Amino acid sequence: MIDRFNTAADILDLSEPVRQKLQRPEKQILVNFSITLDNGTEQNFEGYRVIHSTVLGPSKGGIRYDNGVHLEEVKALAGWMTWKSAVTGIPFGGAKGGIICDPRQLSKTELEKITRAYTKALVDTFGPEKDVPAPDMGTGPDEMGWLMDEFSLLHGKPIHAVVTGKHLHAGGSLGRVEATGRGVSIITLLALRKFGLDAVNTTVAIQGFGNVGLHSALFLYDHDLKITAVSDVSVALYNPEGINIPELILYYNLNNKSISGYPKATVISHSELLTLNVDVLIPAAKEDVITAENAEAINASIIVEGANGPVSSDADTILKDKKILVVPDILANAGGVTVSYFEWLQNSLSESWKIEQVNNRLEEILEKSFAEVFSAAAHYNVSPRIAAYVIAIRKVVEVQAVKESIVNSKNYKQN
Ligand code: NAD
C-alpha cells in the first residue's frame, strides 16, 4: 500500500508532512477480551480496529475473523478503504478491524459472544457518524446483526446505521450480500469491453469461493463467460469446458460451504489455478497471492483484484512487463463499500430501496469510476492502479486542505 501510495504521491508532488499524515492511521486500537466457550473454559481473544482516515466522512471498513489477522495487515487494509471510498466518490473515510480467531472452529454461540465482546470494547469508537464496520473475510450478516444489536443495547435504542452488511430484517440493504461480486463482474465486463474482447466464452479462473468469489463466478457465468477454474481453501477445481456455477453453488451449500469433492471437475493444485492459461484471473481470497515468485508464470491477460491486495507491489512490475492488465482492488472490489453506503443512507433516512435502484446506482458509480481511472492512467501514462491512487489521494488532500483552511480562518477570527 505504501509503495503504491508513494508512487502516486510523487506524481502529485506531495510534501513530506502531507505524505506522513496520509500514510499513518489516525487511530489504532488493540482490544483484549475473554468469552466462555461452549465447553465451559474461558478463552482470551485479541482484536484490532484501525481508523486510517476520517477526512471524507465517517470511517468505513470490514471486520475480519481469521487466525492470520495482525496489526500491520489491518493498517494496510484500513488505508485501502480510504482510497477505495475516495476513488468511487463515496463520502466515507477508511478503517478496518479484525479478531485473531478461526471462525470455522467456533460455534455460532461462541461467534456471537466474541462479536458482542468486541463491540462492547469498541463502543466509543463505532457510531453511524464516526466509524461504521462491515463484513470482511470470515464475517457476514450474522456478525453484523449481533454488532448492531449489542451497540443498540448499550445505547438503549436501535441504531441500525452503526454497521452495514446486515440481514434484511435487521435493516440490511437489498443487494448488499452480492454487491462486491456484482461489482467485480461489472468491472470485469468493462475491462473486456475496453480491450475489445467479447465476453461470451471468455475463460475465467477464480481463487476463493466465499462472498466475493462465489458471486463474481455466478454473475460472470450468467453473462456467458466460461468459468474454467475455482478454488477455496480446501481444493482447486478445473474443467476446461466450464464449470456449471449454479450447480456448484448447490453442491457447496449442501456440502458445509465447501467445494471439495465436486465431481464434475479435475482437482488441480492451488498454485496451478493462478497460472492457468485463461483470459481473466480473479484472485478473490486474500492478499499477496501473486508475488515476485509466481508473477512470471501468470498466463492470464487480465487480472481483476476481487480480494484486497492480492498482487504484491514487486509483482506489479513483472506483470506490467508481461503486458498483463491489472484492474486494482480499490476499483474492482468497490461494489461492497458502495452498497454499504446505500445501506447506511437507507438506515439514516428510514428508507428501503428497490433492488433495481441499488443495482442501477451501483453500476452507474462503478462505470464512472472505471472511466475516470482509465482516463487518468492514459493522462499520466501510468498503470490503472497508480491512476486510481492518484485520483483517491488527490481527493483526500483537497478536502483536508479545505478543512484546514476553515479551521485556520476560524482561529484567525477568534484571534
Ligand atoms: P470469505 O471468507 O467469504 O471467502 C474467502 C474465500 O477464500 C473462501 O472460499 C476461502 O475458502 C477461500 N480461501 C482462503 N484461503 C485460500 C487459499 N489459500 N486459496 C484458495 N482459496 C482460499 O471472504 P470474502 O468476503 O469473500 O473476502 C475475500 C477477499 O475479498 C478479502 O481479501 C476481502 O478483504 C475482500 N473483500 C471483501 C468484500 C466483501 O464485501 N465481502 C469487499 C471488498 C473486498
pLDDT in tens, 336-375: 999 999 999 999 999 999 999 999 999 999 999 999 999 9
190 lines ligand 1 (CB under 6 A): no
pLDDT of residue 411: 63
Q: How much is the pLDDT for 87?
A: 97
Does ligand 1 have an atom closer than 6 angstroms to the CB of 216?
A: no
Q: For a pLDDT cut of 90, what percent of the chain falls above it? A: 93
Range 385-410 average pLDDT: 89
Q: How confident is the model at residue 404 (pLDDT cuts 50, 70, 90)?
A: confident
pLDDT of residue 1: 78
| Atom 31 (ligand 1) nearest CA | 307
* Ligand 1 centroid distance, CA of 153 (Å): 31
Question: Secondary structure of 346-380 in the HEC alphabet?
Answer: HHHHCCCCCHHHHHHHHHHHHHHHHHHHHHHHHHH
Cβ of 131 below 6 Å from ligand 1: no
Instruction: Answer whether 307 contacts ligand 1 (Cβ < 6 A).
Output: yes
Is the confidence at residue 407, as pLDDT, over 80?
no
SS3 category, 103: helix
What average pLDDT does this structure show over 218-232? 98
pLDDT of residue 406: 72
pLDDT band, residue 322 (cuts 50/70/90): very high
For ligand 1, is residue 181 a contact (CB within 6 Å)?
no
Task: Give the integer Cα–Cα distance in Å for 40 and 55.
Answer: 45
Looking at this protein, which amino acid is placed at residue 157?
Answer: K
Spacing, Cα 214 to ligand 1 middle (Å): 10
336 touches ligand 1 (CB under 6 Å): yes
The preferred substitution site among 63, 177, 232, 304 for testing ligand 1, maximizing ligand atoms within 8 Å of CB, is 232
Secondary structure (H, E, C), 136-191: CCCCCHHHHHHHHHHHHHHHCCCCHHHCCCCCHHHCCCCCCCCHHHHHHHHHHHHH
Nearest CA owner, ligand 1 atom 18: 233
Cα separation, 169 vs 157, in Å, equals 17
Burial class (CB in 10 A: 0-12, 13-18, 19+), 330: buried
Distance 404 CA to ligand 1 centre (A): 38
- The ligand 1 atom at the shortest distance from the C-alpha of residue 134 is 40
- What mean pLDDT do residues 182-199 have? 95
Query: 310-319 long-range contacts, Cβ below 8 Å, gap at least 24?
Result: 310/207, 310/283, 310/284, 310/285, 310/286, 311/283, 312/288, 313/3, 313/4, 315/290, 315/291, 316/4, 316/383, 316/385, 318/292, 319/290, 319/295
For residue 87, report the distance from its CA to the centre of ligand 1, in Å: 22
Please report the atom of ligand 1 found closest to the CA of residue 138. Answer: 2
Q: Which atom of ligand 1 is nearest to the CA of 337?
A: 42
Q: Catalytic residue positions?
A: 96
Is 137's C-beta closer than 6 angstroms to any atom of ligand 1?
yes
- The pLDDT assigned to 117 comes to 98
Distance from residue 25's CA to the centre of ligand 1 (Å):
24
Per-residue model confidence as pLDDT tens digits over 270-320:
999 999 999 999 999 998 999 999 999 999 999 999 999 999 999 999 999
Report the nearest-CA residue for atom 34 of ligand 1.
308
Q: Is the CB of 133 under 6 A from ligand 1?
A: no
Cβ(273) to ligand 1 under 6 A?
A: no
pLDDT at 118 over 90: yes
pLDDT value at residue 335: 97
252 lines ligand 1 (CB under 6 A): no
CA-closest candidate to residue 282, choices 335, 213, 219: 213
Task: Report CA 4 to chain centroid distance, whole Å.
Answer: 17
Q: Can you tell me the mean pLDDT for 25-54?
A: 98
pLDDT band of 195, cuts 50, 70, 90: confident
Evaluate if residue 250 carries a pLDDT over 70. Answer: yes
Judge if the beta carbon of residue 48 lies within 6 A of ligand 1.
no
> Contact at 8 Å (CB) between 29 and 63?
no
The pLDDT score that the predictor gives to residue 3 is 85
309 CA closest ligand 1 atom index: 32
Q: Provide the pLDDT for residue 409.
A: 66
Q: Which of 87, 166, 187, 233, when mutated, tests ligand 1's pocket best, judged by the most ligand atoms within 8 Å of its CB?
A: 233
Phi, psi dihedral angles at 96 (to 5 degrees): -160, 155
Residue 104 DSSP code: G
Integer Cα distance of 57 and 127 in angstroms = 12
Q: Which residue shows C-alpha cell 456484482?
A: 182
Among the atoms of ligand 1, which is closest to the Cα of residue 64? 34
The per-residue pLDDT for 412 is 57
Percentage with pLDDT > 70 across the chain: 98
Averaged pLDDT, 208-216: 97
Close Cβ partners of 395 (under 8 Å, ≥ 6 residues apart): 56, 86, 87, 89
Q: Is 333 in the pocket of ligand 1 (CB under 6 A)?
A: yes
Q: Whose C-alpha lies nearest to ligand 1, atom 23?
A: 137
Residue with cell 466522512: 57
Measured CA to CA, the distance from residue 234 to residue 50 in angstroms comes to 30
Q: Share the mean pLDDT of the chain.
A: 95
Tell me the per-residue pLDDT of 128-183, one tens digit each, with 9 for 90 and over: 999 999 999 899 999 999 999 999 999 999 999 999 999 999 999 999 999 999 99
